[in-house]
Structure 1
Amino acid sequence: MKEKLWIRSLQGYEETVKLPTRFKHLQLKKLSFGARACTLQFEYDSTLKDDILISEDMMKLLSIPHDRQLHVFVHSDVLDIGPLIGIFTAGFTESLLRPIGERSLFFAKFLTMEKSIGVNAFVFGAHLINWSEGTVEGYFYDEKQGWSKRMVPLPHVIYDRLPNRKTENHAAIQKIKQRLKDEYLIPWYNPGFFNKWEIFKSLQTEGSMKHYLPETIYQPTFLDIQRMIDQHKHIYIKPANGSLGLGIYQVIASSTDHAYYCRYRDGEENRLQKFTSLKKLIQHLFKGKSLQNYLVQQGIHLIRYESRPVDFRIHTNKDQDGKWRVTAIAGKVAGKGSVTTHLNNGGMIKTLEELFPEQKKRESLSTRMHHSVLLLSKAISASTEGIVGEIGFDIGLDKNGDIWLFEANSKPGRAIFSHPKLKMADRLSRQLSMAYAIYLTEQGVDQLEAQYQ
């Protein structure tokens, strides 16, 4: 059972909850919020419709917020209020104005979604957990009052927003994540950065997914690179665990002057170098270093906007029913001389309307893209360890109209939402990132209910 009710304070009572009479048949005995529960008196009032009244002492004991719409879940004799969502990250400061440094605004935007979807959310890190009490000192955000800290029980669900692979792989972080999952059975969604090669390998086994994949080789030898450049005339060499377009090399074989051209980012500059042989190019770029952490990928002849290559960032999210939905599509136009379409390399964001003014063509493409990324989302989440709740796809469209998958990201950046016409998409993707926790909480309650039966 799941409902959305207003949480109100009950004056003049202790250890008491008042509910609408439709709850009377449930024989409730306990009230819980997050990982904490207590036994109290349940009363039923025919005048209540969409409210639940909780005595002040219980509100304080369980740290339940006042005058808020939240969901209530029932399992056995327990009424569970929530979901209480903990957004787990690192990089905290001592400042209450900017508690997570430069990313404070990023997290504040997520937390402003909580009231509209009926959840209670906070940001926390490993150092804020009190294991002996089963509580956490969370950072909450209010649009009027700003940031505040409050002690709450450990959450129903944890949304992983660790900033990078180095932090994620730290032994202490791994230990804490495992303890919260094993000892407290807290669902943890988006638990890790994707490995590009592992994603490609899993999709290659899906017959219906293969046509989306450019030819890709992990840990390539020089002969692998030679064969691919001879066959495709255009390849990319990229880190298997890279992000933000860093460390990517575009290699093009020129038949007119029998040379090889390499385009890459060098600090703040886009570089283009010419080499008389592929061997000299590889030696110059990697200086004898192994390519064991790289992959080589077939280049695709992308559509262009004002003579510049275009690819697409598409966001998908699971919603509060656990279903995949497309929340945003935007074109990314490469900067002048750039190897990628990232904004920090001079790229720019365009809507589908700007790229495809013809409505019929635009709608046809949008339908095809929706279909493709939803299939890819289901395949990736089914083959990935842990709970995947959102994916950011980098998708290519070639001159023949074929769709290609370049990358899938489990913690996608949000640069496309700087475009003024993507405000609604920005809001929807943030809403669903939080709303998925409702589904996970309900699933957890259903599992507990099954144990009692």
Structure 2
Amino acid sequence: MSKFKIPVQTVHSGILQENAVMLGDKSMKKLKIPAHGTIQLTFGSFRQEVTVIPVPKSDILRVSEGLARRLGLRQRLALNVSYSSGSRTLRLGPIIGVLVSRDHPDQPDRLFGPITMFCRELTNACHAQGAYVYFFTPEALESHSTSIQGWVYDEGWRKLSLPIADVINNRLTTRKVENKPSVQHFLADVKSRYGTHFFNEKFLDKTEVFEALAQDATLQRYLPESHALKGFAILKKMCGTYNSVFLKPVRGSLGKGILRISKDESGGYRLLSTTPMGTRKQTYSSLAKLFQSVAPKMKTTRYQIQQGLPLMEVGKRPVDFRALVQKNGTGKWGVTSIVARTAGSNHFVSNLARGGTLSTAREAITKSSLPSGVKENSQVLLPRAALAIARGVETYIPAHFGELGIDLALDQSGRIWLLEVNSKPSKNDNTPLNDQKIRPSVKQMILYCRYLAGL
């Protein structure tokens, strides 16, 4: 089956009827489309029988204004095209839908809040790859609908009625919204009716990830000892085994709500907690008294208790690593990037939201106090660990993921540990938009969408 990119142009409805398209004879030969026959034109969920009129010395697909409106095409653009002679189907696209939490129509420059520039970048990248992208919110969802109200960028944001996408990327930022019946019903409906692919289907929680990966003997070496915090007994056992332990909200992100417990010199216990202003320190004469202060939090927040690790440091500040692991154009996992995150001066977590700073993994490892032989080895082993963990998540957790943010750490001897896996890696505007430069992570995402859609 031949596939290539073709310019699509809208012509006046008086020149061309809605049930006909004009196609250059060169393209017709390449695609092996019979002249003047009827075929089915598809674009996402859109389907229509059309007659193909060959045009000599042209490589353009022309459609009428009325058909373009139903397709959701407003401007001249190039789309991938493929033809299946068995089903007599001419496919355009793919259409990629991005499900986002909210829009702000009164703020066109920040329509989708901090991910607006990512959405622009994704639009530019789709134009370059012959794909079509739109953005929609849960408010736009209706079950059993053949179209959806979505935002497209064309010299400004505009809202159009659009076909259901071939592939949907879930960028919802809260579990509450993701678990709404309207969201779940819509996704089940479009999967069954149109074969829509939906990736990054759900949030992961820390207990789920560690319990799933522990089933794989080859991944156990990366897992710090970790349990659901059910009561005082497990806290006492972990604090008796390790110099420090971390209590992490099972469903937390951005370093919020993390607690660090360690013994102090007097025989008591020190509790450190993250706040926007820095680290809050409290001391308790006994572990039982410390537990009494934490217990009320456990009524509303589930915690994972995890072995504390003596992390690699740069300038006496702990460092961890965020690996972005993505599916590629052949459906295989690959490591797109690994960055080092160094904790801020008043923090014990490295998240950027808590004052952490970014650098390349190589730069941080080179500046660290790791032994020199370990430094070289670590740069090879970190991406290997990230890939193995991504494959483990896919194997042991029943959901479809196309990209994962995998947080890793090196301890002071160079051993690699998994800290957590994030199924919604950040797309916030922390990099300047350059219309000429599209990040590899954005290109990779579109290649995977094209692979899923077969376009």
TM-score range, shorter chain: 0.7 to 0.9
Distance 1:295 1:360, change over 3 A: closer
Which of 13, 17, 21 is 1:16 aligned to?
21
The residue number in structure 2 matching 1:373 is: 386
Q: Which moved more, 1:162-171 or 1:78-87?
A: 162-171
The residue number in structure 1 matching 2:317 is: 308
Distance 1:397 1:126, change over 3 A: same
What does the per-residue CA deviation read over 1:338-363, in whole Å, with 9 as the maximum and x for residues that have no partner? 13111222211121243234898665
Q: Which moved more, 1:289-298 or 1:382-391?
A: 289-298
Q: Which moved more, 1:166-175 or 1:116-125?
A: 166-175
Which of 182, 199, 217 is 2:192 aligned to?
182
The answer to whether the aligner puts 1:148 opposite 2:158 as a matched pair is yes
Matches within 5 A, 1:119-268: 119-129=131-141, 134-142=146-154, 145-254=155-264, 256-268=265-277
In structure 2, stretches of 5+ residues that fail to align are none
The answer to whether the aligner puts 1:53 opposite 2:61 as a matched pair is yes
Equivalent position SS for 1:271 = strand
The answer to whether the aligner puts 1:94 opposite 2:94 as a matched pair is no
Residues 125 and 442, structure 2, Cα contact 8 Å, conserved in 1: yes
Distance 1:249 1:293 in 2: 13
Distance 1:423 1:326 in 2: 24
Distance 2:129 2:398 in 1: 28
The answer to whether the aligner puts 1:323 opposite 2:332 as a matched pair is yes
Shift of 1:228: 1.1
Residues 141 and 182, structure 2, Cα contact 8 Å, conserved in 1: no
In structure 1, stretches of 5+ residues that fail to align are 446-453
Residues 263 and 338, structure 1, Cα contact 8 Å, conserved in 2: no
Which of 392, 411, 414 is 2:405 aligned to?
392
Q: One-letter code of the match for 1:78?
A: T
Distance 2:178 2:142 in 1: 21
What does the per-residue CA deviation read over 1:15-50, in whole Å, with 9 as the maximum and x for residues that have no partner? 0242331222688711111101111123556855xx
Distance 2:324 2:136 in 1: 25
Residues 141 and 186, structure 2, Cα contact 8 Å, conserved in 1: no
Distance 2:234 2:184 in 1: 36
Distance 1:209 1:28, change over 3 A: farther
Distance 2:148 2:377 in 1: 49
Distance 1:88 1:258 in 2: 52
TM-score (normalizing by structure 1)? 0.87
TM-score (normalizing by structure 2)? 0.87
Distance 2:8 2:436 in 1: 31
Distance 1:261 1:35, change over 3 A: same
The residue number in structure 2 matching 1:451 is: none
Distance 2:16 2:302 in 1: 63
Distance 1:412 1:430, change over 3 A: same
Distance 1:419 1:437, change over 3 A: closer
Equivalent position SS for 2:310 = coil
Residues 38 and 50, structure 2, Cα contact 8 Å, conserved in 1: no
The answer to whether the aligner puts 1:83 opposite 2:91 as a matched pair is no
The answer to whether the aligner puts 1:281 opposite 2:293 as a matched pair is no
Distance 1:139 1:172 in 2: 19
The residue number in structure 2 matching 1:448 is: none
Shift of 1:313: 0.8
Equivalent position SS for 2:32 = helix
The answer to whether the aligner puts 1:402 opposite 2:415 as a matched pair is yes
Q: Which moved more, 1:360-369 or 1:262-271?
A: 360-369
The structure 1 segments of at least 4 consecutive aligned residues displaced by more than 4 Å after TM superposition are: 10-13, 25-28, 43-48, 129-133, 288-292, 358-363, 422-426
Shift of 1:327: 1.3
Distance 1:62 1:419, change over 3 A: closer
Residues 21 and 45, structure 1, Cα contact 8 Å, conserved in 2: no
Distance 2:158 2:171 in 1: 19
Residues 33 and 64, structure 1, Cα contact 8 Å, conserved in 2: no
Distance 1:279 1:148 in 2: 58
